[in-house]
Structure formats: C-alpha cells, structure tokens
Amino acid sequence: MLVTYDGIVISRRQVGESGVFIDILTDEQGIIEAMAHGANKINSNLLSSSALFSYSTFCMSKSKLRYTVNSAKPKFSFHEIGNDIEKLALASYFAQAVKFCTPSEQPQDSIVRFFAIALFEIMNGRSLGSVKSAFELRYSAELGFAPNLVACDNCGNYECERGMYFLPKKAKIICADCFNKEYDGEYVLLFPETLYAMRNIVFSPLDRCFKFGISEPAEKQLSSVCEKFFLNSVEKSFPALGYFKSLNGGDLRNL
C-alpha cells in the first residue's frame, strides 16, 4: 500500500553502509518508523529529507512489517539548528519528549504543526529559556495535563494583590488570600509576569504560545515551574535536557 504523509524526522539511525531508519512525526499516524534505503549516499535523493529535523512530504510503501520511503519532497529545512550546539540540544530534548509521548500509528491533533513552530522559534533567536518553557507547558496541556490557570481554585478571583500560588501537583492556582499557609505540598508564589506568561502559553493559539516578553527573574521562575510540571506530568527524564542545561553556563542548571 502506498501512503503519503507530511512529517518531521525526529530521530535517525544508520543501518548497514548507507541505509537509514528514520522516525517521522506525523499527524495521521503518530510516529512512523521508516526505512530510507541508500539515504546516506551523497547522491541520494533522500539525503536531505532523511536528515534530523527535516520537514518533508514522504511517499512510502507500507508492508505488514514496515514503511519504506520511496520519495520525499522537502517542505522546510531546520538544518540550521545543527550549527549551534545549544539549539541542537534543546531541539533534541523536544524530539526525545515527543518520541516518548506520541504513540505509534495513532492519529494526533496538530502535533506536526506544534513541533514545527517550536523548531522555528529555536532557530529564529528567541530566548531558548522561554522557548523551552513554552514547549513544556503547552505540550503538557496538549497531552491533557493542562493546569487550571484561569482563576483561584477556591474563590474564583482572576488576580490577587498579594499574589497567586501555583500548586504543581494539584495543577491549579490559589490566591494569597485563600492560600492555607499550613499546606504541606509543593507550591510556588508566582511573579505576576510568570502567571501572565503561563496563561499566554496555555490559552493562546498554537502560533502565539511562544510569543511573550518576560524579565530575567520571571523567566527563571517560569523555566523552573514549567520544567518540573512537564517532567512530573510525563513521569520521565530526558538525557538531552540534562545536556542542554549543562551547556547553559549555570543559568538554568541551578533552578
């Protein structure tokens, strides 16, 4: 059977002299593992489409055992990410996260578009800390772990002069007037800017969720809150995340 899907290569491994197995992220079938014969040959017409983070239209044959790429037409190139080790580490973290969280051969809602926007934001010089936070929190929401950030879970107030607390394990916010100081679970008193950014990330259309301005202290808080929330939600750690943080000169390492 012949099938055609738009997708992004999120991992690849060489097979033999010149063949490559690629994992392609698609909306229609989740993650597809496909064989690209001869893709590592310098004159192969699959060379660029089988590269990591290639966004292409893949024409494949599907047998009982596997998909085989027959041809591919590039749609957009994110290869530039590979020129910067920090950008590559962050994109690799996103790829590992998506690979872990996306089932094989099951339809997904807009995952390719979301992943493409995230790669685009990495490539185009937005603060990597903010891109990472936006990815973690929005992806948590897309996976069904959305925290309730609309209003205080107790009194329904949208804002509070004394601040809002985020309770990560309960995935909700409580205003300072309602917060019980004897609460013994995890909590963070959010900077107003942090809450504003979190609401933007969760409630904006996909193409706007990465776009927000934030000061440095709030960005650090946002980074810490979003990372912990995401890793707790998916119950997994990712090697590329540790590597990305090790490259960040301590900025993100000590959060």
Q: Catalog residues that contact Zn ion under the rule CB under 5 A.
A: 152, 154-155, 175, 178
Contact 129, 197 (CB under 8 A): no
Q: How far is the CB of 233 from Zn ion (least distance, A)?
A: 24
- For Zn ion, the closer of residues 167 and 175 by Cβ is 175
Q: Which is nearer to Zn ion, 123 or 175 (CB)?
A: 175
Strand partners, 13: 21
What is the smallest separation between the CB atom of 172 and Zn ion, expressed in angstroms? Answer: 11
Lookup result for tokens 């920090």: 86
Place of tokens 């044959």: 61
Rounded to a whole number of angstroms, the minimum distance from the CB of residue 115 to Zn ion is 36
Q: What residue has token string 């990815």?
A: 135
User: Cβ 228 to Zn ion, closest distance in Å?
Assistant: 23
**Residue 183 beta carbon to Zn ion: minimum distance, rounded to whole angstroms:** 13
Measured from the CB atom, is 31 or 174 closer to Zn ion? Answer: 174
Straight-line distance from the first to the last Cα atom of the chain, in angstroms, rounded to the nearest whole number: 50
CB of residue 161 to Zn ion, shortest distance in Å: 12
Q: Which is nearer to Zn ion, 166 or 210 (CB)?
A: 166
Residue closer to Zn ion by CB (options 155, 189) is 155
- Sign of the Cα pseudo-torsion (134, 135, 136, 138, in order): positive
Whichever of 3 and 151 has its CB closer to Zn ion, that residue is 151
Shortest Cβ distance from residue 133 to Zn ion (Å)?
Answer: 25
CB-based contact 27:108 (threshold 8 Å)? yes
Compare residues 61 and 154 and give the one whose CB is closer to Zn ion.
154
